[in-house]
């Protein structure tokens, strides 16, 4: 996988000496980097150690980024880069080197309204969009996974309708319902459910007041989440 990053220029090195490139070209590109706030064609890097990178493709751009940082350290501290993961390094390097060769040998077609720079900017925009969509999808997936793990709230009326007789009896005992009144209330609830509301439970179950209903619901706090 190849990931898009902003990498500190000082963490990057190139295997090609700066003398391989024209100093006027480096200076011109450095100025353009500062004018456009970054490289339109990101560097292709491989990680060689902890926060250490080597240039695979874009050696000229790297030296221009270094020159831009010399001119304006704050504005050119970071550089756009595609970082190759180690397991895909070989094939990714082959692709980067082939594209660099094609880029250096391809001349603009005068009959085509799209220049190499236009194409490069369009490809970079597509890359940003793909990365953004991938991050958005990953975030949605993680949020859904978290939501699935959170306890889901159960309505108190569902507890009345679904609780087993023995559990219902135990809950009523915990709020002071005892003796024959307890058996009577449990029997009525089991016989007359399902109920559509708590007020219906109070109306249809003799011996169960609104006050007692409030106490019962309060005692069921641990049952309201499953």
Confidence bin at 114 (pLDDT 50/70/90): very low
pLDDT of residue 62: 93
Query: 8: closest CA among 86, 93, 74, 84?
Result: 74
pLDDT of residue 186: 87
d(C-alpha 45, C-alpha 63), whole Å: 14
| pLDDT at 193 exceeding the cut of 60 | yes
Domain 2-104 in CATH 3.90.1530.10: yes
- Please compute the mean of the pLDDT values over residues 27-38 and round it to a whole number: 89
pLDDT of residue 68: 93
- pTM to 2 decimal places: 0.44
Confidence bin at 17 (pLDDT 50/70/90): very high
Sheet bearing 78-84, strands edge to edge: 2-8, 78-84, 43-49, 52-57, 12-13
- Please compute the mean of the pLDDT values over residues 153-170 and round it to a whole number: 80
| pLDDT at 23 exceeding the cut of 90 | yes
pLDDT of residue 171: 78
More confident: 225 or 70: 70
Residues 6+ apart with CB under 8 A from 4: 42, 80, 81, 82, 83, 127, 128, 131
| pLDDT at 102 exceeding the cut of 80 | no
For 119-137, write each residue's pLDDT tens digit: 555 555 666 666 667 666 7
pLDDT of residue 69: 92
Beta 2-8 vs 52-57: how paired, if at all? unpaired
In the chain the beta strands, taken as DSSP E runs, fall at 2-8, 12-13, 43-49, 52-57, 78-84
CATH 3.90.1530.10 maps onto the chain at 2-104
- Please compute the mean of the pLDDT values over residues 59-86 and round it to a whole number: 88
Reduced to 3 states, what is the DSSP secondary structure of residue 48?
strand
Is residue 30 within 8 Å of 68, Cβ to Cβ? yes
d(C-alpha 5, C-alpha 35), whole Å: 20
| pLDDT at 150 exceeding the cut of 90 | no
Average pLDDT, the chain: 77
Confidence bin at 64 (pLDDT 50/70/90): very high
More confident: 87 or 69: 69
Q: Which two tokens mark 134?
A: 């991938």
Residues 6+ apart with CB under 8 A from 184: 206, 207
- Which H or E element spans position 183? helix 179-192
């Amino acid at each position: 996988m190849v990931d898009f990053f902003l990498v500190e220029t000082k963490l990057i090195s190139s295997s090609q000496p700066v003398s391989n490139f024209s100093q006027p070209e480096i200076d011109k590109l450095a100025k353009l980097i500062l004018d456009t706030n970054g490289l339109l064609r990101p560097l292709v890097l491989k990680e060689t150690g902890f926060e250490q990178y080597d240039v695979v493709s874009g050696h000229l751009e790297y030296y221009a980024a270094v020159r831009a940082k010399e001119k304006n350290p704050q504005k050119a501290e970071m550089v756009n880069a595609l970082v190759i993961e180690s397991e895909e390094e070989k094939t990714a390097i082959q692709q980067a080197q082939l594209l660099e060769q094609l880029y250096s040998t391809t001349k603009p077609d005068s009959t085509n309204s799209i220049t190499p720079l236009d194409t490069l900017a369009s490809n970079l925009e597509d890359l940003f969009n793909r990365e953004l969509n991938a991050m958005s999808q990953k975030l949605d997936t993680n949020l859904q996974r978290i939501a699935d793990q959170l306890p889901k709230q159960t309505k108190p009326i569902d507890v009345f309708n679904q609780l087993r007789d023995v559990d219902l009896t135990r809950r009523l005992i915990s709020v002071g319902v005892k003796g024959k009144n307890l058996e009577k209330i449990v029997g009525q609830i089991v016989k007359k459910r399902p109920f559509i509301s708590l007020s219906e439970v109070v109306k249809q179950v003799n011996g169960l007041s609104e006050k007692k209903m409030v106490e019962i619901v309060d005692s069921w706090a641990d049952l309201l989440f499953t």
